[in-house]
Amino acid sequence: MANPAVDRGLKAFYDLAADDSEGLRRLLNVDFRAVRIPYVGPELHPPVPDRRIDMWGIRTRWVGHEAGGYWDYCDFPLIDADVDAAMRWPMPSPDDFDYQSVADAARRHAEYCVVIGDPGFADMINTTGMIRTMEQALVDLMTDEPAGLCFIDRRVEIQLEMLERTFEMTKGLIDLLWLGEDLGTQLGPMISPDLYDRHFRPRHQRFINLAEKYDVPVMFHSCGSSSWVFDRLIEMGVQVIDTLQPEAKNMRPEFLKSTFGDRLSFHGCISTAGPVTYGTPDEVTENVREVLSVMKPGGGYALAPTHWLQDNSPVENVAAMYRAAMEFGTYV
């Protein structure tokens, strides 16, 4: 995955049409295909000038910068909401999604690893922070604030129902469920283990149990220094960890492979804050070679960037990353 500027640059670099995303994935030997559950219901939130608003009511505004721009979260319409306001906040009905299109897309991509979900699926901190502010989301969880927990639980119930309907429609077609929750800073845990056990674990467990019911493995995304929670995730049934920011504490490839390599598979580890952004193509190639020399033995590793490739990542460096993966990696 990449920001639009990187996507456009790569297609131009390889002389592909601007809309040929599948051609780009095939050229780069990308093994994953994400399928979405399209919302086809009524508009739930009135438009606001200069804002994008999603089905949950989360608002973003465009912020430009010298390399491009991004949609940043703003307004936070539920920042002061009480329980009544959180209960009345419009949310999508599981009836208003096109599950057939998910099955059709999964069949089209059957030769690849078909993924449902994303890093924001089943998360609590980030999504709640997008509508109540990050500060208030963390306070909600630490103080058992009813309004914040109400928003979280309403969304959890909707997502679980969406997921079960998707699994029923796509039996045998989904290869991986992707869940997420950013649980680390660069230096250590973002929250205490006790807080994870109190609020996060029981809710995350419901998603993992549902995936197990349909024999779908789970990949769990967490940015930052998050290895502190990996033993818990293993106990819960998670098989793959995503992101693996190597510059964060206890996230170096050597530590992850030696500590968890016999119990987890890994997806990520090529830093978007490292040579891909700030180095040369030769430095990117060497970085990929070094990571693969650690992570590849014994299998259980899917090479990927640690985040969406950002606008300031030179196209030549991104191309070098995939060339090195094809040179030093193994394809089955």
| Predicted confidence (pLDDT) per residue in 252-263, tens digit | 999 999 999 999
Q: What is the pLDDT of residue 69?
A: 87
- Single-letter code of the amino acid located at 110: A
- CB-side exposure of 253: number of CA atoms within 13 Å? 21
Q: What is the pLDDT of residue 261?
A: 97
68 pLDDT band, cuts 50/70/90, is: confident
Structure tokens, 109:
């991509």
C-beta separation of 110 from 63 below 8 A: no
Q: What is the pLDDT of residue 187?
A: 97
Strand partners, 303: 268
Task: Dump pLDDT digits (tens) for 251-309.
Answer: 999 999 999 999 999 999 999 999 999 999 999 999 999 999 999 999 999 999 999 99
18, burial (CB in 10 Å: exposed 0-12, middle 13-18, buried 19+): exposed
Handedness of CA 65, 71, 77, 80 (dihedral sign): negative
Give the separation between CA 71 and CA 60, rounded to whole angstroms: 5
Look at residue 211 and tell me whether its pLDDT is greater than 90: yes
Please, what is the average pLDDT of the chain? 96
Residues 305-326, mean pLDDT to the nearest whole number? 95
Task: Dump pLDDT digits (tens) for 214-255.
Answer: 999 999 999 999 999 999 999 999 999 999 999 999 999 999
Task: Count how many residues are written for the chain.
Answer: 332
| Domain 4-44+93-328 CATH (choose: 3.40.50.150, 3.40.50.300, 3.40.718.10, 3.20.20.210) | 3.20.20.210
Query: What is the full DSSP assignment across 145-187?
Result: -HHHHHHHHHHHHHHHHHHHHHHHHTTTT--EEEEE---B-SS
Give the separation between CA 203 and CA 142, rounded to whole angstroms: 16
Q: For residue 193, which of 227, 243, 148, 238 has the smallest C-alpha distance? A: 227
C-beta separation of 51 from 61 below 8 A: yes
Look at residue 331 and tell me whether its pLDDT is greater than 70: no
Q: What is the pTM of this model?
A: 0.96
Structure tokens, 226:
């998050």
Q: What is the pLDDT of residue 53?
A: 98
Look at residue 328 and tell me whether its pLDDT is greater than 50: yes
Element (H, E) at 99: helix 99-108
Residues 89-106, mean pLDDT to the nearest whole number? 98
Look at residue 332 and tell me whether its pLDDT is greater than 50: no
Structure tokens, 112:
């690849």
68 SS3 class? strand
Spans of all domains in the chain: 4-44+93-328
22 pLDDT band, cuts 50/70/90, is: very high
Residues 39-54, mean pLDDT to the nearest whole number? 97
